[in-house]
Amino acid sequence: MLLKSTLPSTLTKARSPHTTSVQVDVQHLFPFKLDDFQLEAIRHLEAGKSVVVCSPTGSGKTVVAEYAVEMALMSNKRCYYTTPLKALSNQKLYDLRQKYGENKVGLLTGDLSINRDAPIVVMTTEVFRNMLYGTILGDVSKNLKDVASVVLDECHYMNDSQRGTVWEESIIYAPKDIQLVALSATVANAQELTEWINETHGPTELVISDFRPVPLRFHYFGERRLYPLINPGGGVNTFLKSRFGKKQRFQHKDKDKKRRPMGGLYTHPADVLANLSARNMLPAIYFLFSRRGCEEAMKMSRGIPLLLQEEQAELRRQVEQFTRDNPNLANHPHIPYLMEGMSVHHAGMLPSWKGMIEKLFQSGLLKVVFATETLAAGINMPARSTVISCIQKRGDEGHRELRASEFLQMSGRAGRRGMDEVGHVVVLHNPFESVEDAAKLAQAPADPLSSRFTPSYGMVLNLLERHSIDDARDLIERSFGQFLINRQLEPTFAQRMALENELEKSQSPLCPGEIGDLNLYAKRLESIRARHKQLKTTEKALKQHTPKGGGPHPGLADLEATRSEIHATLQEAYAMPCHGCPVQKPCSKQTERIGQINKRIKEIDKRVVRETNFYWRTFEALGNILRTLGYLDGNKPTKLGKMAAAIRGQNELYLTEMAMSNIFNQLHGHELAALLTALVGDEARGGHDSMRVKVSPQVEYALEEAHKLQRKILRLQKDFDVEMPIELGPHQSGLTEMWAQGATWHAIRNATPYDEGDVVRSLRRTLDLCRQYIRAAGMPEAVVDKCRTVEMLLNRDEVSEDF
């Protein structure tokens, strides 16, 4: 059998540009029978090819990644395992260390390196992308020494509007002798993704499966009862259409608004949980689309007996141990709910608290977690059931229906392999939503991946540091976005070829004798007609205006000259072969068609140039701005440009200009910390001014200067037709200044209505920017010293990350 074990001394050469490939004893590595799609992916890996594995959540894609890790170890090579989130990296680090031991597994983050030369290194995809650039992580060739394969877990994150470009850049820049193992949830255009990687990186095979080891059963909960959502033959349950089919029209000034539960809950969560508990459908993840809704649902669900007596005792023991290790959380307001087997999980919670919730849920001690959709795309927390509270959510442009992939991601959390025979997905009745729409979502295919590739200042500087301008263009034009554009243009290219073929056939002359120029003949006839018209007008004018004294009119000479020109042009036309030609009419039609074809070809060429050069035009415009400000000398980064290349952010140019503007030097450590928070803040989520903790006057002045520099760069970008956002979000700067001045977490919590998780995230982002400034080559020593002070002030207690 192909999958038989071979010894390292008998390694087989790969049949692709990738490095030596080996075969591993599958039965020894996996003590369970593998599915067909897993075996197929393993065969492609053994052949030395990259693979894209696309299958539903929980179907076992990780098996393929584990086999790639084993192959690397067997051949004395290394494997990088990338994930989209630090939480996922931490979980994968734990899993791999459990299997291979601490010495063989390392972790690499933007600011922490643990055993980075280990055979297996876990990292976020951003870290891998930065490693390919070189930047502060070291030389590219040293970074990738002996790396045989890279796992790109959760590759469907390419669809993420803010971070998706990172996956594209990683695939574009990855050396072609490295095998890529891209693991993705179900997407509509997996074939296109695979063809792009095959074209960009090297031989790649698609392994796709729609098989779920734990099938899903869809339910609809209304009037305190559970109903099947879908008929056995497909389509919405006809009884539900008659019972709940009428959709009410939502009015913002609804008179019954006061009768609705808090958080917009139209179905009481206690009713839902009681039904699930009675049917043995717990544990469950209960998805809501607001943090407030999660909190309210949990409060409304108290009093339902969810835990066995022995489970309560173990839960109490683990929670008490956690609060001993984290004394600042001993009085957390959610502990009473936790003791009843329920909790909340959303981005506004403290990371340490969320980590405990995840462990308790995975161990079966929590029976329901009320969560926002971030959990669906987050760490591994499968359940027996998922509850979807509504099929609409608030987006950037108001309320919209869930996309198919969003619904799939949430429903995919239901059903635990090896524990459940079936997973349950429960959609709750909402009077303003159609039960038919819910059934359509449950049966809808996944959405396609789109491109989020975005040239940035950092990309320009890093590519030009290591490549010629021509090579940089080649890399830019390898993006998935450009690939999709070229695909969309294929009918246009085909149309152009058809027009060229028609043009070639139309060039054959129809003339029976000497070949004439019908266009020139037509122009001369048109000229004659125009001059005749002019002649009649002149003659009419002369008759109406007889000169005084009876002498000859001065315009007669011009009249005679016009007649002579008409006669001469007429003689030229008569002498042409086209005059009197018997095929003049079909020849005229042919000439007209040739003109139309040439015009259409020019239009097509113009469109092709515009669309195929989209990313490159942006790249060039960014380069021109960088040259204007001294970051590029020709096509090579200057000392200033090399410094900016090490910075990662929304607008690397602005962040570097801030560091070089002397604004930092006028601030003390706690004041600089507050300013850095504004540089990484999200302007759109600022909230009301009354929510803000005031900053010191020195920080207010620094913010004014930062706004001036912001306006200056935005004006410059406008001159070059570049839209690169620069956001200043100072709404949490006051909290950062408090923390940097030594405030306790209790004081921070009492000083603001912001969720604790948001505050921690803001402080950690501030800390990350601070460390980037410290490590950027060529950064002025005064700035580095001040940033080291900021790092020391911020990196403590809740803000410090434990790995």
- The beta strand positions in 84-188, using DSSP E, are 105-108, 113-114, 120-124, 147-152, 179-184
- CA 292, CA 290: separation in Å to the nearest integer? 5
In this prediction, residue 318 carries a pLDDT of 93
Q: Sort strands 105-108 and 113-114 into parallel, antiparallel or unpaired.
A: antiparallel
> In 10 A of CB 4, how many CB atoms?
10
3-state SS assignment for residue 580: coil
pLDDT of 478: 93
Integer angstrom CA distances of residue 110 from 371, 710, 765, 771, 800: 28, 26, 11, 9, 14
Asked if 564 and 530 count as a contact pair (C-beta separation under 8 A), the reply is no
Pairing relation of β-strands 398-401 and 225-228? unpaired
Q: What is the pLDDT of residue 554?
A: 63
Q: State the distance between the two ends of the chain, measured CA to CA, in whole angstroms.
A: 41
CA 205/CA 52 separation, integer angstroms: 6
Rg of the chain over CA atoms, in angstroms? 35
Mean pLDDT by 10 residues, the chain (803 residues): 34 43 66 88 95 90 93 94 88 91 89 85 93 68 88 91 90 94 92 96 95 92 92 84 71 47 71 94 94 92 91 93 86 91 91 88 93 74 91 77 90 88 94 89 91 93 93 93 87 84 71 61 74 74 64 66 76 69 69 78 81 91 97 96 92 96 94 96 60 89 96 96 92 95 91 90 94 93 96 91 61
Long-range contacts of 615-621 (CB under 8 A, 24+ apart): 615/453, 615/455, 615/476, 615/477, 615/479, 615/481, 615/482, 616/473, 616/476, 616/477, 618/455, 618/722, 619/455, 619/459, 619/460, 619/472, 619/473, 619/476, 621/720, 621/721, 621/722
pLDDT at residue 163 in the model: 87
Q: Are 148 and 78 in contact (CB under 8 A)?
A: yes
Q: What pLDDT does residue 7 have?
A: 29
Backbone φ and ψ of 13, nearest 5°: -70, 140
Residue 119: asked if its preceding bond is cis (omega within 30°), the reply is: no
Question: Rounded CA gap, 723 and 454, in Å?
Answer: 11
Supply the pLDDT for residue 238: 83
User: Hey, what are 704's tokens?
Assistant: 């004014």
From CA 783, how far away is CA 665, in angstroms rounded? 7
d(CA 444, CA 234) in angstroms, rounded, equals: 11
Instruction: Provide the β-strand partners of residue 182.
Output: 52, 152
